[in-house]
């Protein structure tokens, strides 16, 4: 009996040591992941604004790598020549898109500058005058006191509207002047980005191999797996937002057809594309369109456009966490929390970036590259040690 008690106490101590080891490993893993997230957070928030030309150059080079590899293997083109061809093709397409967007933006601003005074003169000013006349006639029926209050309040209202217009104009001028002052530095950064893209594309494999050699074996393995997981998660993300854009397009098409809007399919497609971008959204078009339509006198159509925006927003807020979570393998609640926290910390980039980071961490844990999450059905360390203790105890000796 003494030997059995000694074995039991020894097993309990060994179970306690095992429990402490599991807890220590768990704490080390949590601290390790927290440090990585903190480094990424600080890098994105502070360092990325300084090195964004090189970051974009690395991203562009990485995107061109599959095409260069295909040209080298399938077409038997030497890598430097294939890289130069891809660079010329990439910058031609990118430059053309930027030129088209710039011309469209300038043309839109010119039309807006011409349209706003006409809108104010033909629609807003008559509407304000009729509203003031109605308020004065209505106050006359209520009595002299109400009439005096309304007549004294109308100049204040007109002054407030004028101050709001002046403030908006001053802010617009400030934004334009700020962009003009930043234009030389933006051009210099763009030139640096182009040159860095050329150098990185020509020696992309050598550069990435050199960086990987500087890492320990464990970190190198995690980095390679994280890169593979990142590509898979981004493709699934694209598929999920393609589904969301398709649903939004159908909603917009039905709503615009019910409102009897001309060119409804084209407008629905344009608004659906805008809705994909986190900073812009469908409200960038539907809200001003609805307000201008209301001021123009089409009350039913204006309210219909605003109601369409509300319906699209509600459906997307409900659908987005579920679709994205299902595609990338995250629970909808985890996806929703990551999107909210990412938006608060990084704005539009965090809305997409933090759920992607969470999906990468989960996929790395699922594949066994890292061990952070405890799986379903796995016994707790203390319980496992307690269950193992009686089994290892020897049988008592038989009595003679």
Tens-place pLDDT, residues 275-322: 877 666 788 888 888 887 887 777 888 888 889 989 998 888 888 888
**Whole-number mean pLDDT of the chain?**
76
Tens-place pLDDT, residues 330-387: 777 777 788 788 777 777 677 777 788 888 777 777 777 776 666 665 555 444 444 4
Q: What is the DSSP string of 263-332?
A: THHHHHHHHHHHHHSTTT-THHHHHHHHHHHHHTT-HHHHHHHHHHHHHHHHHHHHHHHHHHHHHHT--H
From CA 352, how far away is CA 355, in angstroms rounded? 6
Residue 390 has pLDDT above 60, yes or no: no
Tens-place pLDDT, residues 53-106: 888 888 888 888 888 888 888 888 888 888 888 889 988 988 888 888 788 777
Written as six digits, the tokens of 284 are: 């960038």
Burial of 148 (0-12, 13-18, 19+ CB in 10 A): exposed
Tens-place pLDDT, residues 124-157: 777 777 777 787 777 777 777 777 777 777 777 7
pLDDT tier for residue 113 given thresholds of 50, 70 and 90: low
226-252 b/e (C-beta count within 10 Å ≥ 16 → b): beebeeebeebbeebbebbeebbbebb
Mean of pLDDT values over 215-236: 79
Q: What radius of gyration, in Å, describes the C-alpha atoms of the chain?
A: 32
| 370 contacts 361 by C-beta, under 8 angstroms | yes
Tens-place pLDDT, residues 176-202: 677 777 778 888 888 888 888 888 888
Cβ count near 166 (within 10 Å): 10
pLDDT of residue 17: 63
pLDDT tier for residue 112 given thresholds of 50, 70 and 90: low
- Determine the Cα angle at 388 with ends 387 and 389, to 5°: 95
Residue scoring higher pLDDT (391 or 45): 45
Residue 7 has pLDDT above 70, yes or no: no
From CA 310, how far away is CA 304, in angstroms rounded? 10
How far from each other are the two terminal CA atoms of the chain, in whole angstroms?
15
Domain borders along the chain are 52-214, 216-373
């Amino acid at each position: 009996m003494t030997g059995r008690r000694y074995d039991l106490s020894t097993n309990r101590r060994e179970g306690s040591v095992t429990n402490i080891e599991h807890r220590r490993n768990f704490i080390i893993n949590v601290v390790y992941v927290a440090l990585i997230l903190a480094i990424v957070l600080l890098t994105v928030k502070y360092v990325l604004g300084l090195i964004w030309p090189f970051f974009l150059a690395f991203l562009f080079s990485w995107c061109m790598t599959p095409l260069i590899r295909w040209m080298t293997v399938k077409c038997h083109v030497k890598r430097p020549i294939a890289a130069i061809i891809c660079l010329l093709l990439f910058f031609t397409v990118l430059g053309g898109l930027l030129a088209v967007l710039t011309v469209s933006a300038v043309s839109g601003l010119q039309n807006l500058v011409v349209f706003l005074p006409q809108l104010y003169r033909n629609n807003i000013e008559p509407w304000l005058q009729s509203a003031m006349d109605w308020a004065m006639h209505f106050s006359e029926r209520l009595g002299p006191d109400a009439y005096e209050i309304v007549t004294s309040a109308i100049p204040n209202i007109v002054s407030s509207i004028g101050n709001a217009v002046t403030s908006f104009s001053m802010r617009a001028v400030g934004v334009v002047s700020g962009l003009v002052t930043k234009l030389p530095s933006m051009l210099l950064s763009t030139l640096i980005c182009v040159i860095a893209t050329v150098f990185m594309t020509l020696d992309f494999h050598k550069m990435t191999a050199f960086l990987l050699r500087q890492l320990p074996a464990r970190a190198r393995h995690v980095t390679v797996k994280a890169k593979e997981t990142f590509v898979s998660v981004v493709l699934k993300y694209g598929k999920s937002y393609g589904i969301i854009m398709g649903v939004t397009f159908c909603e917009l098409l039905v709503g615009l057809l019910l409102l009897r809007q001309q060119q409804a399919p084209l407008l629905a497609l344009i608004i659906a594309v805008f809705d994909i971008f986190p900073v812009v959204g469908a409200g960038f078009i539907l809200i001003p369109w609805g307000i201008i339509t209301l001021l123009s006198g089409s009350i039913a159509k204006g309210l219909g456009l605003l109601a369409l925006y509300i319906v699209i927003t509600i459906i997307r807020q409900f659908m987005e966490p579920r679709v994205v979570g299902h595609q990338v393998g995250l629970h909808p609640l985890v996806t929703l929390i990551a999107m909210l926290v990412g938006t608060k910390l990084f704005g539009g980039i965090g809305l997409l970036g933090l759920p992607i980071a969470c999906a990468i961490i989960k996929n790395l844990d699922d594949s066994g590259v890292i061990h952070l999450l405890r799986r379903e059905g796995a016994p707790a360390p203390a319980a496992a040690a307690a269950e193992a203790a009686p089994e290892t105890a020897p049988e008592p000796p038989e009595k003679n």
